Amino acid sequence: MNKNLLIIGFVWPEPKSSAAGIRMLQLIKVFQSQEYQITFASSCAKIENAFNLENIGVAQVDIELNNSSFDDFIKELNPSVVLFDRFMMEEQFGWRVYESCPQAIKLLDTEDLHCLRKGRESAFKDGVEFNTSYLFNDTAKREIASIYRCDLSLIISEAEMDILKNQFNVDASLLMYLPFILDKIEDEVILNLPKFKERQHFIAIGNFLHEPNYNAVLYLKQSIWPLIKQQLLEAELHIYGAYATQKVNQLHNEKDGFLIKGFAKDVNEVMKHSKVCLAPLRFGAGLKGKLVDAMLNGTPCVTTTIGAEGMFGDLNANSFIVDNPETFASKAVELYSDSIIWEEKQHNGFQIINQRFNKNLNQKNFIDVLEKTKKEFQNYRLHNFIGQMLQHHTLQSTKYMSRWIEEKNRA
Partners of residue 105 on adjacent β-strands: 81
The architecture that CATH gives domain 187-356 is 3-Layer(aba) Sandwich (3.40)
DSSP one-letter code for 173: G
The average confidence (pLDDT) of the chain is 94
**Sequence letter at residue 354:** N
Mind listing the pLDDT tens digit for each residue in 85-110?
A: 999 999 999 999 999 999 999 999 99
pLDDT band (50, 70, 90) for residue 317: very high
* Residues carrying CATH 3.40.50.2000, the chain: 4-182+359-410, 187-356
The answer for residues whose C-beta is within 8 angstroms of residue 234's C-beta and 6 or more apart is none
Share of the chain above pLDDT 70, in %: 96
165 or 18, greater pLDDT: 165
Note whether 291 and 269 are within 8 A (CB).
no
Q: How many Å apart are CA 180 and CA 20, to the nearest integer? A: 10
pLDDT band (50, 70, 90) for residue 392: confident
Burial (CB count within 10 angstroms: exposed 0-12, middle 13-18, buried 19+), residue 70: buried
pLDDT value for 380: 86
The answer for residues whose C-beta is within 8 angstroms of residue 189's C-beta and 6 or more apart is none
Calculate helix-pair angle for 339-356, 289-296, nearest 10 degrees. 110
Q: How many Å apart are CA 212 and CA 92, to the nearest integer? A: 26
Q: How many Å apart are CA 149 and CA 112, to the nearest integer? A: 18
Share of the chain above pLDDT 90, in %: 88
Rounded (to 5) percent helix, strand, coil in the chain? 55, 15, 35
DSSP one-letter code for 300: -
Q: Please state which CATH number belongs to domain 4-182+359-410.
A: 3.40.50.2000
Phi, psi of 233 (to 5 degrees): -65, -30
For residues 298-316, give the mean pLDDT. Answer: 97
pLDDT of 411 higher than 70? no
The answer for residues whose C-beta is within 8 angstroms of residue 287's C-beta and 6 or more apart is 19, 112, 156, 157, 179, 180, 310, 311
Q: How many Å apart are CA 301 and CA 345, to the nearest integer? A: 8
For residues 376-389, give the mean pLDDT. Answer: 90
